[in-house]
A and B are shown apart, each in its own frame.
Chain A
Amino acid sequence: MLLNQFLFLSAVLFCCGIYGVLARKNGVLVLMSVELILNAVNLNLVAFGTYNHTVAGQVFALFVIAIAAAEVGVGLAIVLLIFRNRRSVDLTEADLMKG
């Protein structure tokens, strides 16, 4: 089995995720991009786990999935509230913390 194919896929996914997080204005899309990043990481964990003949990678991936579910729940709730208040999910407008 070639490890680098998985790693390459994972890197592509990660880069997509980073782009989404940094460049998109839509809050929901940013959250989705975060999921992409996490899944890239999961792919890495499982790939290395299998490569090294250990289940630790899969165990960690499971953890990450569980925590990602929680994170997206909270994140979506925040986005929902922002939408209710402003009728928009544009992150560039949500700059109340500006110094």
Chain B
Amino acid sequence: MNFAMALDYQSCIDCKACEVACKEENGVQLGADKQRIWVTQSEKSIFGEPFVALHPSQCNHCQDAPCVDVCPTGSSYFALGGIVMANKDTCILCKGCMEACPYDARFVDDTHVAVDKCTFCYDTRIVNGEMTTACQATCPTKVRLFGDLDDEEGELIQMLNKRKFYVLKEEEGTVPKLFYMLPEHDKNYAMNSVNPDTNIYTWDEFKPIIEMAKEKRKPRWQTMQE
């Protein structure tokens, strides 16, 4: 198993249902700055007309995650299927992982005095064998699709086979596993919400990159029993 997520971000309406569902399901600390997942807004002006790009985001569960390497206590680790986890009981709050994360996906949970982040609902769903996340389940416009990259018949791979996508900050070499689906049928939206320097991939092109990083990191993935 190798868990990942595709985001059809063009469908996002910034209703924040995903943020609420995440907080509710995982007992995340309250506060606007305390988010495991969030929707970012990048504002632009095109010929005097305002344009706002909405990008739902969260931890990229990088295949080659730098946050895991810098952690001095093993609090950041790879769980089942390469999900990047943060154990609050062993976190000493050195904040190295927050510095190392290129996506600013981590924050301090003041209730535990420890770093917190998205877990793809590992504790509440994955360990129970479920294959959805709270954010996916609650989204009214079906932006998110969680799945297993090793399951060729699964919905996620079917979608990645059908549509082109890109990943964030590819130059960091972290091999992120949030796949942003290139907007279809709306060139204008695609033009304004994707950086022109960003590489656009098909699954056949990206799969070897994922496989290579998985090969490197898989020995450190924990199994369900651990």
Say whether A and B bind each other.
no
